[in-house]
Amino acid sequence: MNTPNSAPGLPATNPERDWFGQPRQLARLFTTEMGERFGFYGMRALLTLYLTKHFLFSDHTTNGIYGGFTAMVYLTPLAGGLIADRYLGSKRSVKFGALVMALGYFLLCFGGDAARPWAMIDGVRHDVVQENVADRPTSSEHEKRYVVIDRQKLAIHGEADGTVSLVAPDGHVAQHVAADQFQSGGDRSSWITLVVLLAISLIAVGNGFFKPNISTMVGELYKPGDTRKDAGFTIFYMGINLGAWFSQMLCPILADVVGWWAGFLLAAIGMVASWALIQFDGGRLTHFGNPPPGRTSDRIVPIIVGAMVAVPLVMLLFQNLMSAPSAASGTGVIGYVLALPLMGKLLFGTFLISVPGILIYAGFTGNRAELQMMVAAMILITFNVVFWTLFEQAGSSLTLFADRNTDLHIIGNFSISAAQTQVFNSLFIILLAPFVSMLWIALGRRGLEPSTPVKFGLALAGVGAGFLFLVWGTHFADGAFKVSVWWLAGLYLIHTIAELCISPVGLSMITKLSLARIVGLMMGVWFLSIAVAQYVAGAIAQVASVDTVGGEVTNPKLSLDTYVHVFTTIGWVAVGIGALLLLLSWPIKRLMHGVN
């Protein structure tokens, strides 16, 4: 008996050549995405710690840069999906994006010397001396930092009220400094800083060509109504996390043992491997991801030139993000909007224009049912913003929490680094994704599979529950104000279950609910919603900022209290929004006209 065709107009798939019951081409796309995610997540595991420990940026600046960078990673697919739909086709876009990202990862290898720390006390700048401090992701308990005043080295100790005590070698407090009279920072090369901004700009632009179009190619493997599609996207999603698992384990190890550059170099090698897999596909993808009929290659050069011009523009957005002032006190929402960096205005403006704009387009070009399906998609996309805002604390506030307030011993003397804690998510995806895929299939056969809106609601409640679980664990912190790494692992387990309810299902939902002629653009809007979430995630992480000297906190208790306050608030908010979506799931399902 023949299985469904892999794509319209192609011969029926030979069952003997299927791959785990899926079209055999899924294996090539699975491996290509695994290599790309190896590069991205290996870099992401290091980036926040790189900015705080090597460049000595403050938490506020670091979380702002990280949020802005990850936002651009998800914003650029809006343009990348449109360009692929109109001109390049998905396959060429994926190959071009892979090369651009690889260049960005290679540039991150050139970080120069570590920044030199300083402290500003009562308006006077003083040098900070570091002892036994290695320029690596993982700090040692033997590291010491002193501020030098009148040739005397004074230890820096943060107090619970935010003030700072400067302690003399004999143990007495030589000086007590008010919170607003103590600032710290680092002297760094402006040229090296520009190189880093150039690197992350290249990664963001390249990702715009790669990210939406590899998913679109997966969608092309299935005819409309093929019941294997959700399972196929879940398997594809497991490939993402295989790449993430390997890189989040290996890149931090190399960065600790050899240096930051080695960790980033390994990420670059993974990206080159991804490009090679799609470039030399042996004809397996001949019928997939091709340019629209009638389109020639005469647009390739202008598109490449335009992409390269976009890179310095993205750099300017990052520089503006770093220098933007905060909103004046008492100005409210209007003051906050006016004070937003250019990137914030661009993100929110694009989202607020594109969502109704696409719905208007659907109203004019589609029938009533198609319009309602698009409305359902847009509602779910809006709730998607909330989920990723909280879930994506992993690379910012949760990584810094792991570095500062987590006992990283797994068992006995074996421990992991703060950068490696992100591996819990990918590990749990690998372990759980096959079972979740089988669960959806089994429930679907019995007519019991939850609808997509219900899955989204469960995901939102789950991401909030993960934070509340970690907050519960902080009640068992040790005398050094550190919680066991297993509480953090529990958060990632709950978040992973939530993620499996929304992310692979969301990708599939877009391909099923959107108008066929703009599916690439809709995939871009899906990633745009995540871009907005990433930006807001950076802003939330900034609320969790903790003062540091030389990249290290001076008061672990104050650090713990800060994280607990933020995580408690966002946890309960997420649970409440998830409950609201569960109540709205029935009317949303009616708008979907049988799509599940």
| CATH number for 461 | 1.20.1250.20
Residues 146 and 277 in one domain: no
Name beta bridge partners: 22.
Answer: 19
Residues 351 and 446 in one domain: yes
**N- to C-terminal Cα distance for the chain?**
26
Residues 108 and 88 in one domain: yes
Do residues 303 and 88 touch, judged by C-beta distance below 8 A?
Answer: yes
> Residue 162 in 3-state DSSP?
coil
> Residue 309 in 3-state DSSP?
helix
Task: Give the largest CA-CA distance in the chain.
Answer: 87
6 found inside a domain: no
Alpha-carbon span 171 to 165, nearest angstrom: 11
Do residues 292 and 89 touch, judged by C-beta distance below 8 A?
Answer: yes
Phi/psi region, residue 22 (left: phi>0; alpha: psi -120 to 50; beta: rest), is beta
Residues 232 and 261 in one domain: yes
Residues 129 and 193 in one domain: no
pLDDT at 9: 41
Q: What are phi and psi of 172, to 5 degrees?
A: -85, 155
Residues 455 and 555 in one domain: yes
Do residues 100 and 234 touch, judged by C-beta distance below 8 A?
Answer: no
Token pair listed for 582: 């569960």
Q: Which residue has the tokens 């980033």?
A: 264
pLDDT at 6: 37
5 found inside a domain: no
Q: Look at the chain and count its residues.
A: 596
Residues 478 and 418 in one domain: yes
> Residue 220 in 3-state DSSP?
helix
Alpha-carbon span 34 to 107, nearest angstrom: 21
Do residues 238 and 496 touch, judged by C-beta distance below 8 A?
Answer: no
Alpha-carbon span 183 to 41, nearest angstrom: 32
Residues 204 and 257 in one domain: yes
pLDDT at 325: 73
26 found inside a domain: no
pLDDT at 15: 45
> Residue 228 in 3-state DSSP?
coil
Residues 140 and 201 in one domain: no
Q: What are phi and psi of 6, to 5 degrees?
A: -70, -30
53 found inside a domain: yes
pLDDT at 8: 41
Please, what are the averages of pLDDT over each run of 10 residues along the chain (596 residues)?
Answer: 39 55 83 92 95 93 92 85 83 91 96 92 90 87 86 84 85 86 90 95 94 82 76 78 91 96 96 91 76 68 89 93 72 68 87 87 82 88 92 94 95 91 91 82 83 92 97 94 96 94 78 77 79 91 88 88 95 96 91 76
Q: Is the dihedral of CA 398, 53, 246, 473 positive or negative?
A: negative
Do residues 73 and 204 touch, judged by C-beta distance below 8 A?
Answer: yes
Residues 469 and 560 in one domain: yes
pLDDT at 132: 85
Residues 450 and 494 in one domain: yes
Alpha-carbon span 17 to 22, nearest angstrom: 9
22 found inside a domain: no
pLDDT at 432: 86
pLDDT at 295: 60
Name beta bridge partners: 187.
Answer: 116
Do residues 47 and 62 touch, judged by C-beta distance below 8 A?
Answer: no
pLDDT at 2: 38
Residues 92 and 156 in one domain: no
Strands 414-415 and 124-131: unpaired
34 found inside a domain: no
Token pair listed for 103: 């260049």
313 found inside a domain: yes
Domain that holds residue 159: 116-187
Instruction: State which of 187, 206, 224 marks the end of a domain.
Output: 187
18 found inside a domain: no
Instruction: State which of 187, 217, 245 marks the end of a domain.
Output: 187
Instruction: State which of 187, 207, 222 marks the end of a domain.
Output: 187
Domains held by the chain: number: 2
> Residue 245 in 3-state DSSP?
helix
pLDDT at 334: 67
